[in-house]
Amino acid sequence: MTDSKYFTTTKKGEIFELKNELNSDKKEKKKEAVKKVIASMTVGKDVSALFPDVVNCMQTDNLELKKLVYLYLMNYAKSQPDMAIMAVNTFVKDCEDTNPLIRALAVRTMGCIRVDKITEYLCEPLRKCLKDEDPYVRKTAAVCVAKLHDINAQLVEDQGFLDQLRELLSDSNPMVVANAVAALSEISDTSPSPAAQMEMNQQTINKLLAALNECTEWGQIFILDALSNYVPKDDREAQSICERVTPRLAHSNAGVVLSAVKVLMKGMEYVGMESEFVTTLQKKLAPPLVTLLSSEPEVQYVALRNINLIVQKRPDILKHEMKVFFVKYNDPIYVKLEKLDIMIRLATQENIAQVLAELKEYATEVDVDFVRKSVRAIGRCAIKVEQAAERCVSTLLDLIQTKVNYVVQEAIVVIKDIFRKYPNKYESIISTLCENLESLDEPDARASMIWIVGEYAERIDNADELLESFLEGFHDESTQVQLQLLTAIVKLFLKKPTETQELVQQVLSLATQDSDNPDLRDRGYIYWRLLSTDPAAAKEVVLAEKPLISSETDRLEPTLLDELICYIASLASVYHKPPSAFVEGQALVVRKTQLPVRSASGEPGATGATESPVPQQVQPAQQQQSVIPSHDTAMGDLLGDLLSMDLNPPQQQMSMTPAPQQDMGGMDLLGGGLDSLLGGPSPVAGMPASQASMGGGLGDILGLGISSTTYVPPKQVWLPASKAKGLEVSGTFSIRQNVRYMDLTLKNNAMAPMGDFAIQFNKNSFGLSPASALQVPSPLSPGQTADVTLPLGTNGPVQKMDPLMNLQVAMKNNIDVFYFSCLIPIHLLFTEDGQMGSASDRKVFLATWKDIPDSNEVQKEVANPNQLDPKGLSDKLQQSFIFTIAQRNVDGRDMLYQSLKLTNGIWVLAELKIQPRSPTMTLSLKTRALDVIPHVQQAYELIIANM
């Protein structure tokens, strides 16, 4: 008899039937009924209607029935909170039961009922259970704290459960310790509050290490993960932790092994120079890693992703284990692709023959993705191991001979890289490549082939014919191919100017006139201008010597690698991204995950690496990956030129865009007609392109925009670098186009790049809050400054601050979280609808003025340094959303009646008395909220002073 019997239904209606059975007198029948209910629940049927009937079955001494009812309660308590309260008494009673199993079960179940009202009743029993004499109850209670924290974090902190949990870290029972660690790590992961953080000192570490040997495998994973967050105070401590963790490598649970590997990889960084210890440890790491590869494919995948990091950090560990990464034909594809990646990383001069033989084997497999990656891998081997380049090239040629379409295309893409790496060595094969021109249908392969033709145009007799054939279908090509074609033809022209003038004219006009793609058009114009003004300079730029491509393509950046090493065995290590990049709701918590500085600088002694020295200084990613950087850099220079020349009078810049379209048509290519476009003699390539000039130009534009609206106070330093580990933040507030902005300047004064910026505001008097995420160009390299604008909303949480205009800000980056506060200028909060009534209808204003008691009127002398007249004043003030309702002249003094409204709806009325030719005026303000008056006075002074 099986459980499927619980699904049989009768015609009368299931729920009705069950209800009857649940209320039956017979115990046996009751239990069967509850089982049926549970069975329905497991398959997702809604049986919540039976809630009261099931809860009635709870008061029983039959453990099985109790458990079943508990299962049901956990599922449906949320939808029936009022009914769930009925169960509370039974829970509280069960927490006092003599049987520890029942006590534990009760406290465990109560924690699973995610109903606020129940949590209140939970506190007392939980407190008792945390101190229970039975370790089984204590360990269950430890987890319950984490559950409660999930439901009501504040309650857990207020009730002091976190401290109790920390006490459990030194419990005598290892399982209790493990669960306390697990609960604490989960709480600190989700809670931003410093109280929730797990402080670790030497004592706790010793306790954890002691518990490590005796708790269950899962407990070991939690403890090891906690250990990996600890920063040992010196070499010796690091070494002793490593020694005590090493036995875990022999555990049969892959999770334990990998978490132990994490602790050891981190520990080795701290042990540092004592290379003998490190060398022995490295030897011990290899076998367990290899063993992981004979586990289930899912385990293999995670292991491989981690091994990928490990071989980049410490290539020595697995240098003799190449063979275990050989691909088996029935490996799942995700395992195959990872293995391939690691094979290339491990390839050296000694084992390259073996690797190549394998790769060639893979290139004949069935799976297209895998074959492509294998072909690409052969190219990467050629670039990595110089001695093998020749063999790789001949292997690739063999593969091209197979004429399998995608193999040929992939081969051509990698051969282009090989040409880049070893110029003037393998060009003899170009003719073979050209034979396959027709079969190329993928943009990547076409672009690569075109690049080869352009680059070696002088050696290919019919280069012009080849390129011309591509030109026919120019508009159907992808952008990538179009750009390559443009460049290749320009190269060809510079090499063989006589025969190809027509071709280059054709491509330039195709690119500039008939294309909608701005990149293509711009590149076209730039070439055109270059060619027309100074062909010699054009030659220098376009045919410039290219920097060699790095031998280690797609290596992770060292700082990222160091960070990821700290996250071995976690999801971050699978994604190869720091958790901050993908973990949601990580609050603003940054774990201590930095490796010691010495390793970041890549001390070769620490790794003991003697062979295959890995370039520690990796070029910026852009340069590594761009296959044809010569153009990119040339572009960069030119762009700088254009901007520095043309932006100075910004108005002229505005008129620049339409101009080309008018003049281009009849322009003679070499006639220098382009100059007219740019309004003056233009020096070509040679003017240093500096960031500053670009910045300046942009600043002008922005500056213009700003001055036409509200007054913007100058930026102030809000957070000095000394207080924020090298990050300096200065800023101000502004309004542009009715949107409020916080304008920030971030400066990196530290030695390492910064990234992952985020910002949060504390509750404040006017509910200011960021309207979008902080967009900082990341990473912010050392010495770099970034200007950032953050749009603000005014619907955030409100809390009256003291001082009133104070705004507390938390800013986060990859290093830490920093707090600072600044003052909001009140005029930021003036709204554009602050005109009370209208200019013609002044009654509203008058009525309100009279309505506000005179005690709420405050007078102040305000300076008028520029001695502006009433007209000028009201115009200027209006730009800051202070609206003039009426103007009168009394006894030779001008009176301005004005109104303004704050974002939270507070109205402020003002009367400004202006004495002709006097440096001061009298400002009377009237409002119901007296608190704002001093700030509004200040705003008047500021705005008027800065007119």
Partner 1 sequence: MIHSLFMINSAGDIFMEKHWKSVISRSVCDYFFEEQQKANSPEDVNPVISTPHHYLIHIYRENIYFVAVCTTEVPPLFVIEFLHRVVDTFTDYFGDGGETAIKDNYVIVYELLEEMLDNGFPLATESNILKELIKPPNILRTVVNTVTGSSNLADTLPTGQLSNVPWRRAGVKYTNNEAYFDVIEEIDAIIDKQGSTVFADIQGVIDCCVKLSGMPDLTLSFMNPRILDDVSFHPCVRFKRWESERVLSFVPPDGNFRLISYHVGSQNMVAIPVYVKPNISFREGGGRFDVTVGPKQTMGKLVESVVITCAMPKVVLNMNLTPTQGTYTFDPVAKVLTWDVGKINPQKLPNLRGNISLQSGSPPPESNPAISVQFKIQQMAVSGLKVNRLDMYGESSPKKSFSFEKYKPFKGVKYLTKAGNFQVRT
- Window 641-660: residues binding partner 1 (CB under 8 A): none
In order, the DSSP letters of 283-317 are HHHHHHHHHHTTS-HHHHHHHHHHHHHHHHH-TTT
Query: Is 482:511 a contact under the CB 8 Å cutoff?
Result: yes
Which contiguous run of DSSP H or E holds residue 717? strand 716-719
When asked if residue 502 is in the footprint of partner 1 (CB under 8 A), the reply is no
What is the gyration radius of the CA atoms in the chain, in angstroms? Answer: 37
Site residues for partner 1, 657-686, by CB under 8 A, read none
Size of the site for partner 1 (CB under 8 A): 104
CA–CA dist 751, 869 (Å, integer): 53
CA–CA dist 452, 416 (Å, integer): 7
* Contact code string over 361-400 relative to partner 1, x by CB under 8 A: x--xxxx---------------------------------
CB 303, min distance to partner 1, A: 8
SS3 of 70-81: the string is HHHHHHHCCCCH
Query: Is 492:532 a contact under the CB 8 Å cutoff?
Result: no
Please pick, from the candidates 33, 268, 352, 404, the single residue that binds partner 1 as defined by CB under 8 A: 404
Selected range binding partner 1 among 340-348, 564-572, 615-623, 887-895, rule: CB under 8 A: 564-572
Q: How many beta carbons lie within 10 A of that of residue 622, not counting itself? A: 9
When asked if residue 571 is in the footprint of partner 1 (CB under 8 A), the reply is yes
Q: Residue 42 or residue 795: which is nearer to partner 1 going by CB?
A: 42
Identity of the residue numbered 696: G
Query: Is 489:477 a contact under the CB 8 Å cutoff?
Result: no
Selected range binding partner 1 among 213-221, 432-440, 473-481, 898-906, rule: CB under 8 A: 213-221
Structure tokens at 259: 């978490």
CA–CA dist 107, 126 (Å, integer): 7
Query: Is 449:466 a contact under the CB 8 Å cutoff?
Result: no
Site residues for partner 1, 216-235, by CB under 8 A, read 216-218, 221, 225
Site residues for partner 1, 521-560, by CB under 8 A, read none
Selected range binding partner 1 among 482-490, 582-590, 607-615, 770-778, rule: CB under 8 A: 582-590
CB 137, min distance to partner 1, A: 10
CA–CA dist 881, 895 (Å, integer): 18
* Contact code string over 78-97 relative to partner 1, x by CB under 8 A: x-------------------
Listed in sequence order, the residues at least 6 apart from 931 whose beta carbon sits closer than 8 Å to its beta carbon are: 804
CA–CA dist 551, 349 (Å, integer): 14
Please pick, from the candidates 116, 117, 202, 250, the single residue that binds partner 1 as defined by CB under 8 A: 250
When asked if residue 188 is in the footprint of partner 1 (CB under 8 A), the reply is no
CB 590, min distance to partner 1, A: 13
* Cα-based distances in Å from 114 to 42, 67, 75, 159, 189: 19, 18, 9, 18, 20
β-strand partners of 898:
884, 910
When asked if residue 583 is in the footprint of partner 1 (CB under 8 A), the reply is yes
Please pick, from the candidates 56, 235, 274, 326, the single residue that binds partner 1 as defined by CB under 8 A: 326
CB 286, min distance to partner 1, A: 9
Q: Residue 250 or residue 273: which is nearer to partner 1 going by CB?
A: 250
Site residues for partner 1, 809-848, by CB under 8 A, read none
**Whether the bond into 423 is cis, omega within 30 of 0:** no
When asked if residue 402 is in the footprint of partner 1 (CB under 8 A), the reply is yes
When asked if residue 125 is in the footprint of partner 1 (CB under 8 A), the reply is no
Structure tokens at 135: 């370790």
When asked if residue 171 is in the footprint of partner 1 (CB under 8 A), the reply is no
Which contiguous run of DSSP H or E holds residue 276? helix 275-292
Please pick, from the candidates 22, 307, 572, 647, the single residue that binds partner 1 as defined by CB under 8 A: 572
Residues in the chain: 947
Query: Is 203:211 a contact under the CB 8 Å cutoff?
Result: no
Please pick, from the candidates 17, 189, 540, 941, the single residue that binds partner 1 as defined by CB under 8 A: 189
Please pick, from the candidates 160, 332, 604, 608, the single residue that binds partner 1 as defined by CB under 8 A: 332
| Angle (CA) 287 289 290, round 5° | 65
The phi and psi torsions of 861 (rounded to 5 degrees) equal -85, 130
Selected range binding partner 1 among 143-151, 674-682, 852-860, 922-930, rule: CB under 8 A: 143-151
Please pick, from the candidates 50, 69, 129, 147, the single residue that binds partner 1 as defined by CB under 8 A: 147
When asked if residue 127 is in the footprint of partner 1 (CB under 8 A), the reply is no
When asked if residue 168 is in the footprint of partner 1 (CB under 8 A), the reply is no
CB 621, min distance to partner 1, A: 22
Please pick, from the candidates 570, 630, 813, 937, the single residue that binds partner 1 as defined by CB under 8 A: 570
When asked if residue 328 is in the footprint of partner 1 (CB under 8 A), the reply is yes
CA–CA dist 157, 165 (Å, integer): 11
Query: Is 761:807 a contact under the CB 8 Å cutoff?
Result: yes
When asked if residue 928 is in the footprint of partner 1 (CB under 8 A), the reply is no
Please pick, from the candidates 422, 456, 575, 819, the single residue that binds partner 1 as defined by CB under 8 A: 575
Please pick, from the candidates 201, 294, 387, 738, the single residue that binds partner 1 as defined by CB under 8 A: 294
**Whether the bond into 100 is cis, omega within 30 of 0:** no
Tokens 């060398």 belong to: 279
When asked if residue 192 is in the footprint of partner 1 (CB under 8 A), the reply is no
CB 64, min distance to partner 1, A: 4
When asked if residue 136 is in the footprint of partner 1 (CB under 8 A), the reply is yes
Which spans in 896-932 are helix H? none
When asked if residue 254 is in the footprint of partner 1 (CB under 8 A), the reply is yes
CA–CA dist 639, 310 (Å, integer): 41
When asked if residue 406 is in the footprint of partner 1 (CB under 8 A), the reply is no
When asked if residue 117 is in the footprint of partner 1 (CB under 8 A), the reply is no
Where does 448-511 show beta strands of DSSP type E?
none
Selected range binding partner 1 among 163-171, 299-307, 340-348, 874-882, rule: CB under 8 A: 299-307
Query: Is 466:437 a contact under the CB 8 Å cutoff?
Result: yes
CA–CA dist 579, 909 (Å, integer): 52
CB 504, min distance to partner 1, A: 42
Q: Residue 64 or residue 851: which is nearer to partner 1 going by CB?
A: 64
Q: Residue 295 or residue 612: which is nearer to partner 1 going by CB?
A: 295
Please pick, from the candidates 164, 204, 259, 644, the single residue that binds partner 1 as defined by CB under 8 A: 259
Q: How many beta carbons lie within 10 A of that of residue 204, not counting itself? A: 19
When asked if residue 288 is in the footprint of partner 1 (CB under 8 A), the reply is yes
CB 805, min distance to partner 1, A: 37
Q: Residue 28 or residue 234: which is nearer to partner 1 going by CB?
A: 28
Which of 689, 667, 688, 687 is closest to 677 using CA atoms? 667
Q: Residue 98 or residue 738: which is nearer to partner 1 going by CB?
A: 98
When asked if residue 25 is in the footprint of partner 1 (CB under 8 A), the reply is no
Selected range binding partner 1 among 160-168, 578-586, 610-618, 877-885, rule: CB under 8 A: 578-586
Please pick, from the candidates 90, 119, 140, 835, the single residue that binds partner 1 as defined by CB under 8 A: 140
* 3-class state of residue 201 by DSSP: coil
Site residues for partner 1, 26-65, by CB under 8 A, read 27-28, 31, 35, 38-39, 42-44, 62-64
Which of 875, 863, 866, 838 is closest to 920 using CA atoms? 863
CB 603, min distance to partner 1, A: 29
* Cα-based distances in Å from 117 to 56, 81, 84, 86: 20, 8, 9, 11
